[in-house]
Chains A and B, each alone.
Chain A
Amino acid sequence: MSLTGFEVEIQREVDGGLTTEDMTLSMGPQHPSTHGVLRFVVRADGEVMKEAIPDIGYLHRSIEKISEKVGWHGFMPYTDRVDYVAAMFCNQGWAMAAERLASIEVPKRAEYCRIIAAEFNRIQSHLLSVGSMAMDIGAYTPFIHTVREREYINDLIEELCGARLTFNYMRIGGVAWDIPPGWREKALSFLERFEPLIDEYNALISYNKIYTERLRNVAAISAQEAIDYNLVGPNLRGSGVRYDVRRDLPYSVYPELDFDVPVGSGELGTLGDCFDRYMVRMREMKESCKILRQCLAQLPQGPVIAKVARNFKPAAGDCYVRIESARGDMGWYVVSDGTAFPHRCKIRTGSFAAMSIIQKVSRNLMIADLIAVIASFDLVAPEIDR
């Protein structure tokens, strides 16, 4: 006597107990909140994830390889595309690497111009990050408000270098253009408007009860774990580790500037949860304003670019340059063989490091929490894949 399908089903039930099947979800690359083309293969039991495995490479454009073909000067516009949300830092990393290889002294004014541009870019990047984080949690309004301020920064930077996203502002030996007349006043005037707005953002969303409940105690990363997984930047500082390249391995004119390094304190829950990472970015914007005020006040006179040969050929050798990008410690390992083309360039980015810990922290979280985790790491897809 053979069993019908339904009877087989019942027999299985009797034998194996009531079991559920894991569901494999593919979150991304075309998903509203994976910030570009990221993909996570989510194994979920109902709403609870068993794990989320990052799948990267959807935005790989061989930028490192391109550097070997286009020459030292020619690579500068390509660096913009490494992290188009914070392109100034990539510009700066490449310029500093080339300068170190060729032992070029950058004029003081150029250094200040770089820091001003970079710190504006940091605010701009953090604004996008905190705004889109609120949007991922379901509050649409803060995003529009942060993007409005971001537009003003875009305007300022456009006046500085002619571009709003891929800046291509820096050059080996300095910057492309000096600060235009009247720009300093506009920048100060913007800071005057912007600084109180950070408190308004906190009043608008940061301490909203639903928002904090969604973020606190979610994906908490201990300081040791954060170091073990090589987290950098705000993600590392969110776990309470006070490490900032600008302060601990100072470059450019940062030693002359006075600023704090905000770290997460677990103020609403566990140390290193999503809320801590979020608040670190909020507070860093304030510090950036402080740095910008000092830079704009101390801005020295002089040239903005050193004499650099058009046919630029640094001495053979290699160097590793670290700068604090909006997404943390960004490393540029550049090898020169003494020709007009770099021999090898390797970029180490913050988002890539953060991807590795997602699989670990996402275990037993809800699917909705994964969105918060992705947003709290401030992942930018092009920076992961390059």
Chain B
Amino acid sequence: MPENHWPADWLRGALELCVLGALAEGPTYGYAIGQRLAGAGLGAVKGGTLYPLLTRLEGERLVESSWRAGDGGPGRKYFTLTPAGAAELARRTALWAQFVDVTRRLLPRTQEV
């Protein structure tokens, strides 16, 4: 399946979980998170979608942030998963797996895309 063709509704449902998943690999900054999601096949996530989502996660104390000086650039804001964020990621990942399992059982068998 070509990139960027996921239905918008699916992306809205999965994006927060995927961002938490990207942060599970270690502290990173907004643009790198976007690259990570695009590289995994989720498609390009615009800054206008990504940063408000990160702000919400920060408001829910699932993520924390700090500014680090850049190499000649304007500096970057690094986001880190908090212990509460890691616990929430584990909970939602398990739930997501159950959800995928349920939907797979409901859908007709298809050939690999």
A and B: real partners? no
Chain A positions near chain B (C-beta within 8 angstroms): none
Chain B positions near chain A (C-beta within 8 angstroms): none
